[in-house]
Amino acid sequence: MAIREIRKDGDEILSKKCREVEVIDDKVKELAQDMLETMYKNDGIGLAACQVGILKRIVVYDVAYIQEDGKREGHILINPKIISRSKSMIEVEEGCLSFPDVYDNVIRHEKVTVEYTDLDGKKRKINAKDIEAVCLQHEIDHLDGIVFLDRVAEQK
């Protein structure tokens, strides 16, 4: 496993749309593990492949990591897609590893259901709420070339 360089504000790759993963091979599995290690090394709770310079629809996240015990429960999502959103919204201060020391409030759906493929090629669903839902929306936005500051701008 390797720690990858996180692309920062101003890097044009952050505004590009990522491509679907067609085949889950050893290269994709290695990238996903590298992404988890990179996220943990930088004290993040989520990371999209474009943030490490790869235009593939891969997201890793771990909201348990920020809890008091610091236990790791990393999740790897291939080709994640939000298939339902709650009508109820929440406002949360967000940050991003690609925008160090920048934080702002973003209004997101309180609950989402995300469909994805796991590393074994199985279709899965996550019913997420609160910070997990916010994290997933933030990371899936990255896959579509949208950063949280774009959401801040459109909400003001």
Q: Give the length of the chain.
A: 156
Q: For 100-154, how does the pLDDT look when each residue is reduced to its tens digit (9 = 90+)?
A: 999 999 999 999 999 999 999 999 999 999 999 999 999 999 999 999 999 998 8
Give the end-to-end CA distance of the chain in Å, rounded to a whole number. Answer: 41
- Token couple for 120: 């074994």
Q: Which residues are paired to 141 by β-bridges?
A: none
Banded pLDDT at 24 (limits 50, 70, 90): very high
- In the chain, domain spans: 12-155
By annotation, the residues acting in catalysis are 139
In DSSP terms, 117 is beta-bridged to: 78, 123
Tens of pLDDT, residue by residue over 54-66, are: 999 999 999 986 7
pLDDT given at position 72? 83
Domain topology for 12-155:
Peptide Deformylase (3.90.45)
pTM above 0.85, yes or no: yes
What H or E segment, with its residue span, contains residue 152? helix 148-155
Amino acid present at 98: S
Q: How many helices (H) and strands (E) does the chain have?
A: 3, 7
